[in-house]
A and B are shown apart, each in its own frame.
Chain A
Amino acid sequence: MAKITLSKLTKRFGEYEAVKGIDLTIADGEFAVLVGPSGCGKSTTLRMIAGLEEITSGEITIGDTVVNDLAPKHRDIAMVFQEYALYPHMTVRKNLAFGLKMRGYKKGEQAPLVQEAANMLGISELLERKPRELSGGQRQRVALGRAIVRKPKAFLFDEPLSNLDAKLRVQMRAELSRLHRRLATTMIYVTHDQVEAMTMGTKIVIMKDGLIQQVGSPMEVYRRPLNQFVAGFIGSPAMNFFKAMLVQRAEGVYVEAASFRVPVPERLCGPYQCVLGREVIFGIRPEDIHSFELLQQQQSAILPECRADSMICGEVEVIEPLGPEMLVLVKCGDQTTVVRLDPRLDLEVGQDINLQLDMEKMHLFDAAHPHARIEAP
């Protein structure tokens, strides 16, 4: 078990800088997920921690040791690869025991450890098989088993679930979380799938273009994304963005976009004072937009004040029923907005719909380059 620290970590491939001097601390026992689009440097970062990729500059510490110049085998970490990387010429038992053998465990010491790991993952009956005789899910388990068998200081996962079908992925997600609770070992998990990041991580590290965009707990990054990229990346479907202006009127402060004008709650007027009259990006999540009609019918408690003037109108373009909810694409002016609605709502493509925005949950981002969040406490 160990704390892992990265400081000013940089990786350059020739001219291309894949990781640009990142700082990150992962506490002992934490499940940290590095998430970001492909090419964001997350896998390179993981491989540098593993020792598979040389560090251009900076420092990596595992526990109390600077591991910059240590070979992978001396870092005492385990890794699960995307394509499993099981040794095809060895049985499952030998695959599990390989790490122990390389570390000088005697035959007699290996057997109980292998058995323990196999029991934990429910693969004891597969021990004599070769990898090619296993299904994808079973291979994944063996790869996990190979990692846990020697009780390393930390686990590294490189998109381990991306080769599994959707159902199995959900199942393995839960299993990994359970495994983390049980082993209480530091885990670093790389994925491009924000759902995996949200569901498994105790800490999410969002990366883009070789830089860390935000670090925080899943709900933290969901509720308070630090820039427009994070806001759009975390959450599915993605947040809706509108170019807008913040204007002061007699009745209060308003967000004015091309096709609508909605009032900013009084609580937020103060903090947003600094961007009055400036161009901003207004963001609102699909789940924070409601059907005005439904709210009225239910005399809903969802919105404390159902103000008619925070309503926008549009035309239903596409309806995607998902069972417990439905996603509706609504065309407002020349922009399409995604809305997550109650499936009981009787909607038809082409009809007009009135939408109520939950302005308490609005987000504002700077329209200038870094697209940083405009803070509202």
Chain B
Amino acid sequence: MKRANGFFNLGRQKVYWLALLLVLFSAFPFFWMVSTAFKPLREIFVYPPTFLPQNATLENFGRLFEQTRFIAYFKNSIIVSSSAVLLTMIFGAAGAYSLTRFRFKGRDKIANLILFTYMFAPIMIVIPFYVLIKQMGLANTHFALVLAYTALCLPFSLWMLRAFFQGIPLALEEAALIDGASRLQAVLHVIFPLALPGLIATGIFTFILAWNDYIFCRILISSDELKTLPVGIADLYNATVIDWGMIMAGGMLITVPVLIFFMYIQRYLIAGWGAGAIKG
């Protein structure tokens, strides 16, 4: 059989090499951050630079914990991000459920409008949002951040969950109702387990957005002890002498726990996808 020409003719091996190159390219900054985090101060500015720390040390981490409020930032980030995830999942699931299961006027228009709001860049709404929050007397609180992240993530979550809920046959819910479940029980026992991949995906999306956010925290939070990690770490640049080792250690501690967490969740996510079959 004659093989196809052009790009598809590259051969499996070449494609793998290309992919590897791409992976190296994007993973290098991450590698450099981790490597620097373990280098003593002297070694960081050595020329030519060393790839791996010659005298690996934990002193950067020590300074991070002693001289900064890193632990408080970390705690703030966890609190704000998890609250945003919780709130988004509750409102997203309830909203998406009503968008798929109840008949009301303008239902599809509302659904389309929701996606439209997602087209506004966060930077466009952060100042109006600040004014609003200030008027409500919520400025400089974690709750303001949670509200902001929930508002930012809801459109996407609603859209995503709506697609998931649409894929679940109505008959399953009706079967549950007839089997003796209340509507809430039917949702909890039948709809949610089947929409689990969607719920996890929206959860991950919200968590990452909240965890990485800089701009909202910068504008809405003024007290140092309430700051989340991105702003907290960024403020380390304001010192007269920039302590790169400490910043890299902080950067690594922002990334690594989340990375491990999502590697674990991902396995669960894939297992969830497999269980999605309704009718064969």
Binding site for B on A (CB under 8 A): 50-52, 71-73, 77-79, 81-89, 98-99, 102-103, 130, 132, 146, 150
Contacts and interface: CB of A to CB of B under 8 A. Distances in A.
A71 B177 contact: yes
Contacts of B276: 88
A88 B277 contact: yes
Contacts of B185: 102
Contact of A52 (B169, B177, B182, B194): B177
A52 B174 contact: yes
B194 A89 contact: yes
B178 A88 contact: no
A146 B171 CA distance: 14
B177 A73 contact: yes
Contacts of A89: 193-194, 275
B278 A88 contact: yes
Given A85-B169, A87-B190, A98-B189, A79 B178 contact: yes
A83 B170 CA distance: 11
B182 A71 contact: yes
A158 to B, nearest CB: 9
Given A83-B279, A88-B275, A103 B180 contact: yes
B272 to A, nearest CB: 9
* Residue from B169, B174, B185, B194 with most neighbouring chain A CB atoms (10 Å): B174
Interface string B166-179: 00010110111111
B280 interface: yes
Given A83-B171, A132-B277, A98 B176 contact: yes
B181 interface: yes
Contacts, number: 70
Contacts of B190: 87
Contact of A77 (B178, B181, B182, B193): B178
B41 to A, nearest CB: 54
Nearest to A89: B193
B102 to A, nearest CB: 13
A28 to B, nearest CB: 20
A81 B278 CA distance: 13
B142 to A, nearest CB: 36
Given A52-B177, A73-B182, A146-B179, A81 B171 contact: yes
28 contacts: A50-B174, A50-B178, A52-B174, A52-B178, A72-B177, A72-B178, A73-B178, A73-B179, A73-B180, A73-B181, A77-B178, A78-B178, A78-B179, A79-B178, A81-B171, A83-B171, A84-B279, A85-B169, A85-B172, A85-B175, A88-B275, A89-B194, A98-B179, A102-B176, A102-B180, A103-B180, A132-B277, A150-B180
Nearest to B171: A85
